[in-house]
């Protein structure tokens, strides 16, 4: 089996790499101000739950430079939401979370806008807020209905299990911490038209939300996304909210309006990764084989629905992670709290589901005094596959090869002995080691979102412009599509340019999310290339066979075998002739042959019935595993990641350099969620950790001292474009290897309290778990 490592990859560099380094990349707030442009600032709630008695903007309107103050009453439609329209764009009579937008101030300068915000007076009548999952359950505050997935006979399997463990598992939220905060500029046009430049993962939703909010037709609004300074899911739905607010200002004033949140504002207003509290019961045999699993998921949705149902469903899908569940009863409910509405985040619920089973496997290993890797291997989906608890066959399963490769690569048994020896003699520190997996389903769980369209235009100098619905947020989707198109035409990637994403060129597109941006849009672009290539190949054959008579034109209806016409090395080759790509394109133009094509792609073979809890929601799975070693200082609870080794099955990678960056970045972000990122709130509900000074993301000092990533070769994923596999989200789950290693380290103290170790395992939580007896 051929393997790749970080020193053996090919592919073009990121298409914005040079401009980023040189400081030439243009983001929203880099765009020069137009004449008469105004700035927008938001009035935010200072209550978590209250009715609004009065909004007085008179003092703000008297301030020099302030052009207007607008409230929810100024919208034609003041509610929005990606699934259900339950969230006000601007709260009018009720606020449901601290820092909820209530009004906007429009001014000639950013300074004046923020000064105006201070002068807007809001009167409240306080209501009792709910901040925890437990309190929401007690008060029966839910968003949406309960979901259920059931496989086998759970109760019968429990009665036949040798051992049973029961308890709760909690994970915290996580801030997206993209470098570019929510930002947009709205430019008014003639006939009430609006042009929106947005930092959004979902231009189509921006277009539709803005149109609905202002009472416009969708064809009056164009949304353009050149690039984002990070997204991670936080700009999938919630960028639409900010765009609608900026659009209201532009629509009212008939002047360009810019809304760029500060980092503090962004963190206070926007939703996070969903915290979960789950109740579990697991039955297993003396050899570690899981016989039955029952999990009740409760996701904290915050004040409004947003994308919570879909996120909860994916958590339920991924509770098996890489392990066969023959008998399972998985239920889930979204609870309503007075927090910012939680939203999409890299992994989209998958990490919250996988964390449960990985934690339980560590508990089973401790209970049985077995090595956790042996427990994982006995429960791992076999090479010939299996069936998930929701009824999908696991095909092309390389998980056994990934485990075998990783175990041999690191000499696991020897490594485990070193850990045992260290912990037997050391008193001030303790080490842990764990190997965890990812089997991440690739597709949107809502079937209608699994579609994309692309426009490919070939110009007479042999260069190509490509427009798709994919949005570039640093992940390299443009570079991947560029590679797909360049390979299809056999030309250099520098001759292919990805254009800014625009709703007037690519309509009704899905968000760049669910790890499917390259899959969907790359497949649509390739489909368009195939049609253009067919035209060029037929032309080449007609010229070669003297089938075009003098004075006649190319015949597109002529039945010709184009299968042996090759596009490579900037040439088009027939059995006996060759043409430069540029040359034949020029001939095609003079023969009035179409050199542009729009194509539509929809993901095949996916379906799911939520009522039955069965189906095939995913086209395929991306697999991988990671092993991490940690060192914990018993005096401080500080954790250092000594070494991490990752092996991924990414099919046939489109661009290994881009994929390597995605794996390493996703792992670091997942590790941050598992170890150090904590959201701290005041009793009032105000977020206190709302800046880089109070919210800790991983730094270079937190990353593994020894960090290795390898890919195994797998050409069997023929369902996807170029036999590739998506990479954006799956490696995030491998950050769990660090958390599991911490749990393993704490297990060496033989304290059963570690069964309920919370995620993230911060130094404070580790110290609390260790107790005074273990602190030196």
Whether residue 134 is contained in a domain is answered as: no
Whether residue 408 is contained in a domain is answered as: yes
- Specify the long-range contacts of residues 607-611, CB closer than 8 Å, at least 24 apart: 607/447, 608/390, 608/445, 608/447, 610/147, 610/313
Instruction: Output the average pLDDT for the chain.
Output: 95
What does the pLDDT look like over 511-555, one tens digit per residue?
Answer: 999 999 999 999 999 999 999 999 999 999 999 887 776 667 777
3-state secondary structure (DSSP) of residue 314: helix
Give me the helices (H) in 559-627, please.
581-590
Whether residue 251 is contained in a domain is answered as: yes
566 beta partners: 573
Average pLDDT of the residues in 349-361: 98
Whether the pLDDT of residue 752 is over 70: the answer is no
Q: Give percent above pLDDT 70 in the chain.
A: 97
**Residue from 524, 556, 525, 560 nearest 544 by CA:** 560
Give the count of domains, the chain: 3
Q: Do 618 and 766 share a domain, yes or no?
A: yes
Write out the residue range of the structural domain in which residue 462 sits.
451-602
Q: What contacts 686, CB < 8 A, 6 or more positions away?
A: 46, 48, 98, 99, 268
Q: Do 554 and 481 share a domain, yes or no?
A: yes
- Comparing 753 with 477, which gets the higher pLDDT? 477
Q: Sort 263 into a burial class: Cβ within 10 Å, 0-12 / 13-18 / 19+.
A: middle
Question: Which one from 265, 362, 729, 755 is the annotated catalytic residue?
Answer: 729
**Which DSSP state fits 636?**
T
Token pair 């906007």: residue: 104
What string of DSSP letters covers 16-28? THHHHHHT----G
Query: Would you say the C-alpha torsion 712, 718, 720, 721 has a positive or negative sign?
Result: positive
pLDDT the model gives residue 5:
41
Measured CA to CA in angstroms, residue 553 lies from 530, 544, 591, 595, 638 at distances of: 22, 14, 6, 15, 75
Q: Do 441 and 490 share a domain, yes or no?
A: no
Q: Distance (Å, rounded) from C-alpha 613 to C-alpha 216?
A: 39
Q: Do 194 and 330 share a domain, yes or no?
A: no
**Which DSSP state fits 508?**
S
Q: Which helix (H) or strand (E) holds 522?
A: helix 517-544
What does the pLDDT look like over 430-475, one tens digit per residue?
Answer: 999 999 999 999 999 999 999 999 999 999 999 999 999 999 999 9
What does the pLDDT look like over 588-631, one tens digit per residue?
Answer: 999 999 999 999 999 999 999 999 999 999 999 999 999 999 99
3-state secondary structure (DSSP) of residue 235: coil
Token pair 């769990």: residue: 736
Average pLDDT of the residues in 202-211: 98
Other Cβ atoms less than 10 A from the Cβ of 181: the count is: 23
What string of DSSP letters covers 166-179? EEEEEE-------S
What does the pLDDT look like over 673-727, one tens digit per residue?
Answer: 999 999 999 999 999 999 999 999 999 999 999 999 999 989 999 999 999 999 9
pLDDT the model gives residue 774:
53
**Which DSSP state fits 90?**
S
CATH number of the domain encompassing residue 470: 3.30.365.10
What does the pLDDT look like over 238-280, one tens digit per residue?
Answer: 999 999 999 999 999 999 999 999 999 999 999 999 999 999 9
Residue 273 near residue 314, CB atoms below 8 Å: no
C-alpha 769: how far from chain center:
32
**Residue from 397, 206, 256 nearest 320 by CA:** 397
What does the pLDDT look like over 561-571, one tens digit per residue?
Answer: 999 999 999 99
Q: Do 353 and 481 share a domain, yes or no?
A: no
Residue-level length of the chain? 776
Average pLDDT of the residues in 149-173: 98
Q: Distance (Å, rounded) from C-alpha 523 to C-alpha 92?
A: 44
Domain boundary, last residue among 224, 248, 269: 269
Other Cβ atoms less than 10 A from the Cβ of 369: the count is: 6
Backbone angles phi, psi at 38, to 5 degrees: -115, 160
Decide if 729 is catalytic. Answer: yes
What does the pLDDT look like over 722-743, one tens digit per residue?
Answer: 999 999 999 999 999 999 999 9
Domain boundary, last residue among 226, 254, 269: 269
Residue 603 near residue 443, CB atoms below 8 Å: yes
3-state secondary structure (DSSP) of residue 404: helix
Other Cβ atoms less than 10 A from the Cβ of 287: the count is: 11
3-state secondary structure (DSSP) of residue 510: coil
pLDDT the model gives residue 2:
39
Whether the pLDDT of residue 6 is over 50: the answer is no
What does the pLDDT look like over 325-344, one tens digit per residue?
Answer: 999 999 999 999 999 999 99
**Residue from 530, 595, 529 nearest 562 by CA:** 530
Q: Distance (Å, rounded) from C-alpha 570 to C-alpha 406?
A: 40
pLDDT the model gives residue 753:
65
Q: Sort 21 into a burial class: Cβ within 10 Å, 0-12 / 13-18 / 19+.
A: exposed
3-state secondary structure (DSSP) of residue 387: strand
Q: Do 552 and 657 share a domain, yes or no?
A: no
Q: Distance (Å, rounded) from C-alpha 259 to C-alpha 311?
A: 28
What does the pLDDT look like over 47-79, one tens digit per residue?
Answer: 999 999 999 999 999 999 999 999 999 999 999
pLDDT band at 1 (very low <50, low <70, confident <90, very high): very low
Domain boundary, last residue among 214, 247, 269: 269
| Start-to-end C-alpha separation, the chain | 48
What are the counts of helices (DSSP H) followed by strands (DSSP E) for the chain?
A: 19, 32
Q: Do 263 and 317 share a domain, yes or no?
A: no
Measured CA to CA in angstroms, residue 611 lies from 149, 202, 572, 743 at distances of: 9, 28, 53, 37
Whether the pLDDT of residue 775 is over 60: the answer is no
**Which DSSP state fits 753?**
G
Q: Distance (Å, rounded) from C-alpha 72 to C-alpha 367?
A: 57
47 beta partners: none
Average pLDDT of the residues in 185-212: 98
**Which DSSP state fits 323?**
B
Q: Do 476 and 589 share a domain, yes or no?
A: yes
pLDDT band at 755 (very low <50, low <70, confident <90, very high): confident
Q: Which two tokens stand for residue 256?
A: 């360009």
Q: Distance (Å, rounded) from C-alpha 24 to C-alpha 20?
A: 6
**Which DSSP state fits 652?**
S
pLDDT band at 4 (very low <50, low <70, confident <90, very high): very low
Q: Do 689 and 560 share a domain, yes or no?
A: no
547 beta partners: none
Q: Do 457 and 402 share a domain, yes or no?
A: no
Q: Which two tokens stand for residue 772?
A: 């005074």
pLDDT band at 773 (very low <50, low <70, confident <90, very high): low
Q: Distance (Å, rounded) from C-alpha 716 to C-alpha 346?
A: 26
Give me the helices (H) in 271-383, please.
308-317, 350-368, 372-379
Whether the pLDDT of residue 284 is over 80: the answer is yes
Q: What contacts 457, CB < 8 A, 6 or more positions away?
A: 464, 465, 466, 467, 595, 596
Other Cβ atoms less than 10 A from the Cβ of 24: the count is: 10
What does the pLDDT look like over 394-420, one tens digit per residue?
Answer: 999 999 999 999 999 999 999 999 999
330 beta partners: 149, 295
Rg (CA), the chain: 28
**Residue from 653, 651, 702 nearest 676 by CA:** 702
Q: Distance (Å, rounded) from C-alpha 118 to C-alpha 639?
A: 43
Other Cβ atoms less than 10 A from the Cβ of 384: the count is: 9
pLDDT the model gives residue 7:
39
Whether the pLDDT of residue 171 is over 80: the answer is yes
Whether the pLDDT of residue 579 is over 70: the answer is yes
Q: Do 32 and 67 share a domain, yes or no?
A: yes
Q: Distance (Å, rounded) from C-alpha 405 to C-alpha 407?
A: 6
Q: Do 359 and 376 share a domain, yes or no?
A: yes
């Amino acid at each position: 089996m051929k393997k790749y490592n970080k020193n053996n990859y090919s592919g073009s560099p990121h298409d914005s790499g040079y401009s980023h380094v040189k400081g030439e990349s243009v983001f929203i707030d880099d765009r020069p101000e137009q004449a008469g442009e105004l700035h927008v600032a938001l009035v935010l709630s200072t209550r978590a739950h209250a009715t609004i008695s009065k909004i007085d903007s008179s003092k703000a309107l008297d301030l020099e430079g302030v052009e207007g103050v607008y409230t929810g009453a100024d919208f034609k439609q003041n509610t929005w939401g990606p699934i259900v329209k339950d969230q006000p764009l601007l709260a009018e009579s009720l606020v449901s979370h601290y820092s909820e937008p209530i009004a906007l101030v429009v001014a000639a300068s950013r300074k004046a806008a923020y000064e105006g915000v201070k002068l807007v007076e809001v009167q409240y009548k306080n209501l009792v807020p709910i901040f925890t999952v437990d309190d929401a359950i007690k008060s029966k505050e839910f968003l949406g209905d309960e979901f259920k997935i059931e496989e086998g006979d759970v109760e019968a399997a429990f009665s036949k299990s040798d051992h049973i463990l029961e308890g709760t598992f909690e994970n915290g939220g996580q801030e997206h911490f993209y470098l570019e905060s929510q930002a947009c500029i709205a430019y008014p046009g003639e006939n009430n038209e609006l042009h929106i430049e947005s930092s959004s993962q979902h231009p189509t939703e921006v277009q539709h939300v803005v149109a609905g909010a202002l009472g416009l037709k969708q064809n009056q609004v164009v949304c353009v996304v050149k690039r984002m300074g990070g997204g991670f899911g936080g700009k999938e739905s919630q960028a639409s909210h900010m765009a609608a607010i900026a659009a209201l200002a532009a629509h009212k004033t008939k002047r360009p309006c810019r809304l760029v949140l500060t980092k503090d504002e962004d963190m206070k207003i926007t939703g996070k990764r969903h915290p979960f509290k789950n109740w579990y019961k697991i039955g297993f045999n003396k050899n570690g084989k899981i016989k039955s699993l029952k999990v009740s998921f409760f996701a904290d949705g915050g004040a409004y629905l947003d994308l919570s149902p879909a996120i909860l469903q994916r958590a339920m899908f991924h509770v098996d992670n890489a392990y066969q569940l023959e008998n399972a009863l998985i239920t889930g409910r979204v609870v309503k709290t007075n927090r910012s509405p939680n939203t999409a985040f890299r992994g989209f619920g998958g990490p919250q589901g996988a964390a449960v089973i990985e934690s339980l496997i560590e508990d089973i290993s401790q209970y049985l005094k077995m090595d956790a890797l042996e427990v994982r291997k006995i429960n791992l989906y076999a090479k010939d596959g299996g069936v998930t608890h929701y009824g999908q066959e696991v095909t092309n399963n390389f998980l056994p090869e990934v485990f075998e490769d990783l175990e041999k690569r690191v000499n696991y048994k020897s490594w485990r002995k070193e850990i045992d020896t260290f912990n037997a003699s050391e008193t001030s520190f303790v080490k842990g080691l764990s190997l965890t997996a990812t089997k991440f389903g690739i597709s949107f769980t809502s079937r209608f979102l699994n579609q994309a369209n692309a426009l490919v235009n070939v110009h007479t100098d042999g260069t190509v412009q490509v427009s798709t619905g994919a949005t570039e947020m640093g992940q390299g989707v443009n570079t991947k599509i560029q590679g797909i198109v360049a390979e299809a035409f056999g030309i250099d990637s520098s001759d292919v340019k990805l254009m800014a994403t625009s709703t007037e060129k690519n309509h009704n597109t899905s968000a760049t999310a669910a790890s499917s941006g390259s899959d969907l849009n790359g497949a649509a672009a390739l489909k368009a290339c195939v049609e253009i290539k067919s035209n060029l190949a037929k032309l080449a054959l007609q010229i070669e066979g003297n089938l075009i008579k003098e004075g006649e034109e190319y015949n597109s209806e002529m039945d010709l075998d184009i299968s042996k016409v090759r596009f490579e090395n900037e040439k088009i080759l027939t059995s006996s002739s060759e043409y430069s790509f540029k040359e034949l394109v020029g001939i095609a133009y003079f023969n009035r042959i179409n050199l542009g094509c729009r194509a539509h792609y929809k993901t095949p073979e996916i379906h799911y019935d939520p009522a039955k809890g069965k189906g095939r929601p995913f086209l395929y799975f991306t697999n991988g595993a990671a092993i991490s070693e940690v060192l914990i200082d018993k005096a401080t609870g500080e954790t250092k990641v000594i070494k991490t080794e990752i092996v991924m099955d990414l099919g046939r990678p489109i661009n290994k350099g881009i994929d390597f960056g995605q794996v390493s970045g996703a792992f670091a972000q997942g590790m941050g969620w598992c170890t150090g990122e904590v959201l701290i709130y005041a009793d009032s509900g105000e977020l206190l950790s709302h800046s880089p000074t109070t919210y800790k993301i991983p730094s270079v000092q937190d990353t593994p001292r020894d960090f290795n990533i390898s890919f195994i070769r797998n050409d069997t994923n023929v369902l996807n474009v170029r036999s590739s596999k998506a990479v954006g989200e799956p490696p995030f789950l491998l950050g769990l290897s660090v958390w599991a290693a911490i749990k393993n380290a704490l297990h060496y103290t033989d304290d059963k309290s570690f069964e309920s170790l919370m995620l993230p395992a911060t130094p404070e939580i580790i110290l609390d778990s260790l107790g005074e007896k273990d602190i030196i």
